[in-house]
Amino acid sequence: MTRLGRDAAALLLRRLRSWYADHRRSLPWRETSDPYAIWVSEILLQQTRVATVIERYREFLERFPTVCALAEATEAEVLTAWSGLGYYRRARMLHQAAREVCARHGGVVPGSAAELRALPGIGRYTAAAIASIAFGEAVAAVDGNVERVVLRLTGAGLTGAGPGTAVAASEEGRRVQADADRLLDHAAPGEWNQAMMELGATVCLPRGPRCEVCPWVEVCRTRGEHPVRKRAAMRAEALSFEWVVRQSSKREPVERVWLVQRDERQSVMPSMWELPAADGADGEPVLGLRHAIMQVNYQVTIYAVEAATARRSRQRGGRWVTAEEAGRMPLTGLTRKVMQRMGWLPVGGARRAKPDGVSR
Ligand code: SF4
């Protein structure tokens, strides 16, 4: 270790192994050695809470049980399965990578971190996590949780520039990776990496580390004193959308709502379906809600607009859809939320149905 001696490293190893054996959470992706399932869990866990991932992980694997089943799906089917999770680039990259695995590797997930990193959407951390957990490769997986644990444990960054500048961040990143590599349990690297992540997620918390129950408290150089990177401030913005419903008739006894498809060239959520934007000229406000994306808090207003007066939005590419059809389409997270609040989609449901081949 650069900042912790070998005796301390041996003690850390014993303590964390023992602590993890007693405290590991039972999570579905810890009950499998299938590299594809572990890969899916790692992609889902990026930017999404564990409780949400538990439910969606099972659904995703039911829908796409093998890497080639995922590869053979259309992008619309994959986005539908991902709907509501946000950060849709993750789903697109996973889909592209699955296609590469099936086309170039015969459907066998590559077994080393170096090969995994060559696939779309798999960075250093994800490659190390999959390679160590599924294949036992001795590589340390350093995500935000692990970085925080290592920085606090070693006391790095308490002096000097500290977190916050590009130079400090890249240098610190290299040192953290080197320390994490030295700490790694070569006998069980997958278990070790998961133990480190577990310690960061449940004990060495960003604000308020629980040092009193930490297995490393005697060796830790900071015991929670380490500075935490400040989150960027959220900014507020207003958004409004039209809620245009074609009333049911005797001839067609099912209500339909007008949805539009985002342009496939848009950088955010391309090709996904959403409510048409309102220009404020027509309609009555029927719903207000908050929705956070990245660093923006949106105050959203939904205006009910008569179908006869909503010609402007209907000039753009879109279609009338029933509630059932909407539940099978790749909706933006905000649109899904609105449709749930308006009683058109059940909370937490509807995405289980198979997609109907909505074109991009
Ligand atoms: S003693 Fe506290 S700060 Fe140090 S690793 Fe444990 S929880 Fe984190």
Long-range contacts made by residues 264-269, C-beta under 8 angstroms, separation at least 24?
Answer: 264/360, 269/88, 269/332
> CB of 338 closer than 6 A to ligand 1?
no
Please work out whether the CB of residue 150 comes within 6 Å of at least one atom of ligand 1.
no
Among 239, 265, 247, 255, smallest CA distance to 335 is for: 239
Query: 203 CB under 6 A from ligand 1?
Result: yes
Other beta carbons within 10 Å of 181: 13
- Residue-wise pLDDT for 289-312, tens only, equals 999 887 888 999 999 888 877 665
**279 close to 218: Cβ distance less than 8 angstroms:** no
From residue 75, alpha-carbon distances to 94, 99, 270 in Å are: 10, 11, 11
Task: Say if ligand 1 is within 6 A of residue 220 CB.
Answer: yes
| Per-residue confidence band for 280, with pLDDT thresholds at 50, 70 and 90 | low
- pLDDT averaged over every residue in the chain: 86
Annotated catalytic residue, options 42, 147, 191, 198? 42
Which own/partner contact pairs does 59-62 have at CB distance under 8 Å and 24+ positions apart? 59/351, 59/352, 61/37
- Residue among 150, 211, 212, 218 whose CB has most ligand 1 atoms within 8 A, to mutate: 211
Distances (CA, A) of 261 to 206, 265, 284: 39, 11, 23
pLDDT at 355: 31
Confidence at 134, pLDDT banded by 50, 70, 90 = very high
User: What does DSSP assign to residue 213?
Assistant: G
Please choose from 11, 183, 222 the residue to mutate so as to test ligand 1's pocket, defined by most ligand atoms within 8 A of CB: 222
Contact 305, 249 (CB under 8 A): no
User: Which residues, 6 or more positions from 121, have their beta carbon under 8 angstroms from its beta carbon?
Assistant: 43, 89, 90, 92, 93, 94, 96, 97
Lowest mean pLDDT among 38-42, 76-80, 241-245, 305-309: 305-309
DSSP 189-210: HHHHHHHHHHHHHHTS-SSS--
Q: What is the pLDDT of residue 350?
A: 40
Nearest-5° angle of CA 230, CA 232, CA 236? 145
If one counts every other C-beta atom within 10 angstroms of the C-beta of residue 159, the result is 7
Under DSSP, the state recorded for 29 is: G
Decide whether any atom of ligand 1 lies within 6 Å of the 149 Cβ. yes
CA 216, CA 192: separation in Å to the nearest integer? 14
Angle of helix 75-82 relative to helix 89-104, nearest 10 degrees, comes to 130
Q: What percent of the chain has pLDDT over 90?
A: 58
For residue 314, pLDDT beyond 70: no
Q: Which residues pair with 95 in a beta bridge?
A: none
Find the 247 Cα to ligand 1 centroid distance in Å: 60
Tell me if 303 sits within 8 A of 286, measured CB to CB.
yes
Q: How far is ligand 1, taken at its centre, from the CA of residue 140, in Å?
A: 19
Ligand 1 center to 120 CA (angstroms): 35
pLDDT-derived band of residue 250, with 50, 70 and 90 as boundaries? confident
pLDDT score for 146: 94
The model's pTM: 0.75
**Structure tokens given for 94:** 């996973």
- When mean pLDDT is compared across 111-120, 151-160, 163-172, 319-328, the lowest value belongs to 163-172
Ligand 1 centroid, distance to 99 Cα (angstroms): 42
- Calculate how far, in angstroms, residue 134's C-alpha sits from the geometric centre of ligand 1: 28
Q: Could you tell me if the CB of 216 is within 6 A of ligand 1?
A: yes
pLDDT in tens, 59-68: 999 999 999 9
Q: How many residues does the chain have?
A: 360
Q: Looking at mean pLDDT, say which of 4-8, 102-106, 282-286 comes out highest.
A: 102-106
Higher pLDDT, 360 or 318: 318
What is the whole-number distance in angstroms between the Cα of residue 164 and the centre of ligand 1?
A: 21
If we measure between CA atoms, which residue out of 122, 80, 76 comes closest to residue 101?
122
Give the pLDDT confidence score for residue 353 in this predicted structure: 33
Arithmetic mean of pLDDT, 201-221: 93
Confidence of residue 279 (pLDDT cuts 50, 70, 90): confident
Q: State yes or no: pLDDT of 313 exceeds 70.
A: no
pLDDT for 141-190, tens place per residue? Answer: 999 999 999 999 988 765 444 443 433 457 778 889 999 999 999 999 99
CB-count exposure of residue 105 (10 Å: 0-12, 13-18, 19+): middle
Transcribe 295-354 into DSSP letters. TEEEEEEEEEE-GGG-HHHHHSSEEEE-HHHHTTS-B-HHHHHHHHHTTSS-TT-STTSP
| Predicted confidence (pLDDT) per residue in 16-32, tens digit | 999 999 999 999 999 99
What is the pLDDT averaged over residues 202-226?
90
**Domains (range + CATH), the chain:** 6-213 (1.10.340.30), 235-341 (3.90.79.10)
**Which one has a higher pLDDT value, 310 or 203?**
203
Return the structure tokens found at 123. 């960075």
What is the average pLDDT across 271-290? 85
Q: Cα separation of 293 and 272, whole Å?
A: 16
If one residue of 145, 220, 225, 228 were mutated to test the ligand 1 pocket, choosing by the most ligand atoms within 8 A of its CB, it would be: 220
Ligand 1 pocket check for 183: Cβ under 6 Å: no
Query: 223 CB less than 6 Å from ligand 1?
Result: yes
Q: Whose CA is nearest to atom 2 of ligand 1?
A: 211
